[in-house]
Amino acid sequence: MKTAFRLLLEYDGSRYQGWQKQGPRQTAQGVRTVAGTLERVLFEAGLSVSTLGGSGRTDAGVHALGQVAHLHLDGRPVKPFELQRILDEGLPHDIAVRSIAPCPAAFHARHDALTRTYLYQIALRRTALAKPFVWWVKGALDLARLREAWMAFEGTHDVSAFADLSRGDDPRCGVTAIDCVEDGSLALLRVTADHFLHRQVRRMVGAAVACAQGKARIEALRGDLARPTPEANLAWGALAAPAAGLFLEHVAYPGDPGPGPLRAAGVR
């Protein structure tokens, strides 16, 4: 017998090599992933995982406030409250399952998603407490230019200059919502799109910061969105922001609400 669940998770990605479970060789070498940790806890509880898939393969060190996953279990029926108890008791402190609900067996966390929203946090001062969750940009940062550069990504563009492309990737990305606000000692960058490519958001953030520091021109950024080149890909790739400040904030499915007000990452 097979049971299917939709999970909503949050995690601190600092200790993990991303969401996706690794192959047997990497697992044997101690490569830790979020999905692999979930599977281990379920296995130790005597449950048989048929399928576990996430809405997005967050990179190493990237966090999540609203990762969505589908989970298929074989064997005896399990109630959501029982599954919640198993995960609450077994998971390490830096992974939390916020909710569990039964779902159709056909639900697929990645294929059924309409949009994904990412949040990036830039620290405007040195911080002793928030280092794992922000990028402290040393030197002057022109916030008006940061916002202008960030907003240049709005709309549908070929983002070949701002992502690591794999064979078969669709380089056109439709950014449906984007914002940049100052929140105390943080600059918050948010972006929503139909899909994202590998390291795309980190390259976008790095490009906007470079423009805000006078190290790159906004006109060049716009030009490389309109006419991407391999040379531009190398140049912007070298400026990619670190993983620490990046959060998968929200994943939307048919009938779901939006991500809500833009605010700094914390308990939600």
Binding-site positions for substrate read 118
Phi, psi for 15 (deg, rounded to 5)? -95, 5
- Say how far apart CA 54 and CA 40 lie, in whole Å: 16
Set 59, 94, 142, 179: catalytic member: 59
Residues of 65-82 as b/e, b for ≥16 C-beta within 10 angstroms?
bbbbbbbbbeeeebeeee
Is residue 222 within 8 Å of residue 148, measured between CB atoms?
no
DSSP string, 224-259: HHHS--HHHHHHHHTTPPPGGGEEEEEEE-TT----
Amino acid code (one letter) for 31: V
- Give the DSSP H/E element, type plus range, for residue 70: strand 63-74
112 noted as active-site residue = no
Report the candidate in 213, 208, 203 with the shortest Cα–Cα distance to residue 242. 203
User: Residue positions in the annotated binding site?
Assistant: 118
Residues that are catalytic? 59
